[in-house]
Structure 1
């Protein structure tokens, strides 16, 4: 029996048994060297024996016939409370001789190769901690006593009052002050995915408590926004048009901030599915830290997902105020994400079946707030090991690798997908390439690619310039961010501050700016909302990618970085 992958809460396994006589039915004995809570087998019926050290696998009604020369091959997933790699043996009753004995072999070698030997280019832990500070700077509502961003204060304390609810909290989307639900959910899911994948990175960097303080802010907000008794989910606070005409502090806003919702008659399966994913992932992260809160998140996730699945539609077609800013293209990918994270949180196979049904056989353009196809494909592959889905995952990354796909590379070797947040798309791909590498898919190639791209973002480029504010010696000082551009309270702030040529009074530590153009050119201009935009979804994959690199260092798997095309020569 080959145990191909294991993680906190489960493992994947597979085996093949040569058939030496004709069979019309079969019964397989799968024995482990320790109790296993439950297993799932897609081509057999599994029955637990005793404490779970043995499972009996019997054929389905349609696959009992086996012929001499065939191989009976089955893949399965085991569920456990801890991260274990059990030993296992398997035999077929019909082929056993009387008195046969079975001993457990030594543990199989993991399929993920070791890739150590490299020296880290940067202090990724510092950049990881800085990114958390950016999210703290994006907080809306009543700030806690331990707020680390001293130039931020309480704001938008009446959000939801127009509908008789408390909808305070959450994150401001970018340099503006609208709370857009879809990118907020996408960001939260990717941040939690990175934490669950590499929690050791946060622990080693001393950032675990800060991460949980950060991530609870949007989760609490989502809980306020979902009203299951009424089938109402509030998906946006604030109108983008008047908001974008205001240049000033969040604390000084006076414009109306309407609350927008989806309902059974005006549905939004996309935002329901993605927010359900955030809540389910949150329930996993908080499971041992705060069991009661974890259960609350999981209950909300289940009901919100069911709502989105039952009442199908695209949220931006139901909420016109969202259409001009975050118009959604489809909802199958978000329902897949919601389902697969619920499966991870519950081990209920109905959610895995849903995820498989929503999965799309297509190469994704990028991982973004709107397009989660590649995330769906990777997570469904993780739990099914279907070769056809692995091909889709490999196809996506092949499209991103140099000299093999359609993604353009700058002269200095930066993967440049689009001008609107060029660093955002690359950072998201860095993150998921590291996850794919952990699955054993082109491990060394993907890890080295991720390191090369992250190093470019952090300053391994001809300008020695970091696109993450506050990291390194040279970085942006003029992000397109209202609050950071305003002087300390009570000094006035207006649109004049947008056009001031001096650096912003406040350093927006950790924010990832939009980044260079396709020629590596970049100008640090506050008025440029293409290259100097910042946003919650820009930092999410970036932060999780950083966690992945810290994990590689901690596990002695950080490979030799690729040779940069335009190395930094004078930091």
Structure 2
């Protein structure tokens, strides 16, 4: 179910009845001949950039979040290549002899490739200037633009393409070779443009995914490029820069990028010298133990001591860290922590809700998700992880919260974008965690 949500987020194509059933819909957003916004550095011209997934409850497509989401699911396929077989997900590609999860990921990767500029830099996002109302994709009539270009999007793209090149090397060798070339081209652009932040221009009001701290993105990209190519230049970057960015326990998607490079290094330990890998393993296990200590001290056995935007993804990202700790050590205590984390997501939490749409005895019915709100169907599209309790309550002017407790700062109303939205980077760690549990427990 959590993987199927990505199919329902596909842009530029209809969701057919044969695959989508009740939730079939017309296509929208062909995203051909999209004009360049001046923030790209181009003053004229258009770009064809069809496909990919809608990012969240809106209809935007964002490279930074696409990179994180794709990479976390590729991490799963590196550990367990056969976790989701062909024809398991009932998507249009089912039956082609390729793992269905990989087929779904390729739909996003093929869009990402279109967002690389000729000199190697990567455009930040494809959106309109403003969010659309709660309408179906086929009803959308706002002009969509190619917006921004910066260091973070380019490095996250480089990391993802290098990782994808490894995972697809046997099934899609030509694509894989092109991805390595594209990743290295992006790296070179980022080295030459190492501090280009993205901020929304004054006339753009869609999701920002802004960043002006790039050391974590450089480390992630260098990790993936070294594991894929074996080139000394990337290893030198890791050796020179790993100490300040050792694993961190923290909330917020932006900070989990700091840990993403480590996942691939840990999965390919044989490519590192013993001193570095021993340090990385030691630090990872220390981090996992910190998470377990927090889980022991906090009700509902999660590792969060505060609740921010997308808190459920923080729970799941911490669970990913525990998965790798279990993979490294075989110790059951880490697997227990992973199970506690999923218990929380599926209803063992202060709100009583299952935070996965379509699942549980107390289901969320009104997510901040445009297709679910506009399709005329009472039940929302299934398979989405909701953002979860958010003590900052950025939507408090339009949403009445019934509890002042941080762990209950969640409302099942469509207007609650701060607690009840969906997002691909909240689903991706759920796919990893559920896939890991299925693999090791079966």
Q: Is the shorter-chain TM-score for this pair beyond 0.5, marking a shared fold?
A: yes
Q: Does 1:364 align with 2:226?
A: no
Q: Does 1:433 align with 2:322?
A: yes
Shift of 1:233: 2.3
CA offset digits 1:442-485 (Å, max 9, x no partner): 83322211111112212345776421112234321111001111
Q: Does 1:211 align with 2:87?
A: no
Instruction: Report matched runs for 1:417-566 at 5 Å.
Output: 417-440=306-329, 443-460=331-348, 465-487=353-375, 505=378, 507-516=380-389, 518-520=406-408, 522-554=410-442
**Counterpart position of 1:247:** 134
The runs of 5 or more residues in structure 1 that have no matched partner are: 1-129, 263-267, 489-503, 555-571
**Counterpart position of 1:154:** 27
Give the Cα separation in 1 of the matches to 2:200 and 2:240.
24
The answer (yes or no) to whether the contact 2:165–2:175 under 8 Å persists in 1 is yes
The answer (yes or no) to whether the contact 2:124–2:147 under 8 Å persists in 1 is yes
Give the Cα separation in 2 of the matches to 1:402 and 1:362.
19
The answer (yes or no) to whether the contact 2:288–2:322 under 8 Å persists in 1 is yes
Structure in which a larger fraction of residues adopt strand:
1
Instruction: Report matched runs for 1:144-183 at 5 Å.
Output: 148-149=19-20, 150-162=23-35, 163-183=45-65
Give the Cα separation in 1 of the matches to 2:184 and 2:439.
31
Q: Does 1:287 align with 2:161?
A: no
Shift of 1:283: 1.5
Shift of 1:508: 1.6
**Counterpart position of 2:401:** none
Give the Cα separation in 1 of the matches to 2:362 and 2:388.
14
Structure 1 residues 323 and 487: CA distance shift in structure 2, 3 A: closer
**Counterpart position of 1:259:** 146
The answer (yes or no) to whether the contact 2:253–2:313 under 8 Å persists in 1 is no
The answer (yes or no) to whether the contact 2:8–2:15 under 8 Å persists in 1 is no
Structure 1 residues 403 and 131: CA distance shift in structure 2, 3 A: closer
Q: TM-score, normalised by structure 1?
A: 0.64
Q: Does 1:237 align with 2:121?
A: no
Q: Does 1:225 align with 2:126?
A: no
**Counterpart position of 1:86:** none
The answer (yes or no) to whether the contact 1:181–1:235 under 8 Å persists in 2 is yes
Structure 1 residues 152 and 522: CA distance shift in structure 2, 3 A: same
**Counterpart position of 1:106:** none
Structure 1 residues 269 and 546: CA distance shift in structure 2, 3 A: same
Instruction: Report matched runs for 1:10-21 at 5 Å.
Output: none
Give the Cα separation in 2 of the matches to 1:283 and 1:258.
28
Q: TM-score, normalised by structure 2?
A: 0.81
Give the Cα separation in 2 of the matches to 1:378 and 1:217.
23
**Counterpart position of 1:393:** 284
Max radius of gyration: which structure? 1
Give the Cα separation in 2 of the matches to 1:201 and 1:435.
16
Q: CA RMSD in A?
A: 2.9
Give the Cα separation in 2 of the matches to 1:339 and 1:147.
42
Q: Does 1:131 align with 2:28?
A: no
Structure in which a larger fraction of residues adopt helix:
2
**Counterpart position of 2:214:** 331
Shift of 1:318: 8.5
Shift of 1:205: 9.5
Give the Cα separation in 2 of the matches to 1:400 and 1:158.
42
Shift of 1:160: 4.3
CA offset digits 1:223-248 (Å, max 9, x no partner): 111133x34422211146x215x221
Give the Cα separation in 1 of the matches to 2:408 and 2:126.
36
In the comparison of the two structures, how many residue pairs are matched? 398
Q: Which moved more, 1:166-175 or 1:516-525?
A: 516-525
Q: Which moved more, 1:284-293 or 1:356-365?
A: 356-365
The answer (yes or no) to whether the contact 1:160–1:168 under 8 Å persists in 2 is no
CA offset digits 1:169-199 (Å, max 9, x no partner): 2221110111122111111111111221222
CA offset digits 1:275-315 (Å, max 9, x no partner): 11111221122111121122222221121122112221243
Structure 1 residues 529 and 161: CA distance shift in structure 2, 3 A: closer
CA offset digits 1:353-396 (Å, max 9, x no partner): 22333433455243754221222345445434524434432443
CA offset digits 1:188-214 (Å, max 9, x no partner): 111111221222322399456321221
The answer (yes or no) to whether the contact 2:69–2:424 under 8 Å persists in 1 is yes
Give the Cα separation in 2 of the matches to 1:313 and 1:319.
17
Give the Cα separation in 2 of the matches to 1:384 and 1:251.
53
Structure 1 residues 384 and 378: CA distance shift in structure 2, 3 A: farther
Give the Cα separation in 1 of the matches to 2:205 and 2:197.
8
The answer (yes or no) to whether the contact 1:182–1:326 under 8 Å persists in 2 is yes
